Structure 1
């Protein structure tokens, strides 16, 4: 292998700085969360311990950390399910051109370019004017869907644009109904993409702040609770919370990736078995 050019090292150094900029704050918070009992919010560290992780599970003077976590978890699951279902239905509907499909598509993704705080303000005002209660499970749920659905739709449109319709035609020739084709042919084939949409839906909802700020009502979600704690908590317990929530997010991502890997292995094994049978 020949000697690498100077540009390679320049770009490698730039990429390293990019990674440091991207993950440096998270790594810093993780390190500071292991401060000793007398530790503060900045370096240098005063001892090393798990004191603040233990303190996190005790009664806090301010806030409702675990209540906020439960709300964020439940809201994330609700948004995930709604995003997957609506994205699949829209993907199936847009496989054929219909009158107004272009306008409807652009309306669906316009929310990506509208400032998030304006979405939050608009949804909150709409619920208030209609006489509905502003609550994290209703108005918060709706405002977060304006963030997750466009991503789900774009993924499903890309998937169905390259979907081989010969599988459906073969199933139809065997007498399968439209629902049977969807359930037994289409959904199993696009399952890895559905997992991707679900991952987008959950993770984008779980850490969403701006679109929930004015639509959560009287009860905070976890991002709002953490933000509120920054003005009241003066100990590394907030770093311990940040570390645990980051680990939870990574575990969710790992679980989804593991599911995709297992499905890929099963598909390969079934394909191999079918080939041997032939």
Structure 2
């Protein structure tokens, strides 16, 4: 059997990919291992025994840090941002299917925040709230700051989806007597639903992990990224690693659940087509 000879480009790409995986998962692996440090262990290797002590410590009252409260705030904020991003991105995608006066300018304005440094956006929103005499909070000013990050991505994704969307299906539905709402609900929405779920997941993860745009807009109470950052200068036990492990596993579970939903929808659509 003839085997094709590997080229230099293949090995170069393989080496680059190996380095990428190392830089991506190496630190996560170290945090995962150190989170199982023994009760008397420290923040560095070697392990002083193996235990789940620091995971249990997460649920105890801490001298520094508010794990539960910061997680609830980040989770709630992520859900709010996700719902808003999906809704606005869908409406924008539908609106831009037709040309209208000022559409090009509106498009560039909607994605302009992607090229503005995140800390400048955070500073600007914080200053604006102060000038208006309003107290910045995680569910008002931080919510708006996160939308300046998630909405452009959501809009761009929906533009790509509708750019590939054939109007033939809608025309067939209208020819059969369906109203505009019935056409959207029973034809358009089921086709684009996996993409909408992807937009929702993207919006949630961008918000859940966002640090810079939250720094000057969260007000008195921290979100989880701010809490973790604050703890790095105050916490001297592996409980910080345990928190990192739990939040990372939570993120992976969200991704797996979303992929399961998307694949389930795809299989159901395939059975319906058959």
TM class by shorter-chain length? over 0.9
| Separation in 1, partners of 2:34, 2:109 | 44
1:26 Cα shift?
1.1
1:131 Cα shift?
2.5
1:41 Cα shift?
0.8
| Separation in 2, partners of 1:267, 1:21 | 38
Write out per-residue CA displacement over residues 83-112 of structure 1, whole angstroms, 9 at most, x where no aligned residue: 000000000000011111111111111111
Secondary structure in 1 aligned to 2:61?
A: coil
What corresponds to 2:266 in structure 1?
Answer: 264
Secondary structure in 2 aligned to 1:117?
A: helix
Task: Please point out which of 187, 209, 217 is paired with 1:207.
Answer: 209
- Is 2:63 the counterpart of 1:57? no
What corresponds to 2:171 in structure 1?
Answer: 169
What corresponds to 2:145 in structure 1?
Answer: 143
What corresponds to 1:110 in structure 2?
Answer: 112
- How do 1:13-162 and structure 2 match up within 5 A? 13-162=15-164
| Separation in 1, partners of 2:58, 2:143 | 28
Equivalent residue pairs, number: 272
TM-score, normalised via structure 1 length: 0.95
RMSD: 1.0
Task: Extract unaligned runs of 5+ from structure 2.
Answer: none
| Separation in 2, partners of 1:70, 1:7 | 47
Task: Please point out which of 7, 11, 14 is paired with 2:13.
Answer: 11
Task: Extract unaligned runs of 5+ from structure 1.
Answer: 273-278
| Separation in 2, partners of 1:151, 1:180 | 28
What corresponds to 2:227 in structure 1?
Answer: 225
| Separation in 1, partners of 2:13, 2:169 | 45
1:6 Cα shift?
4.0
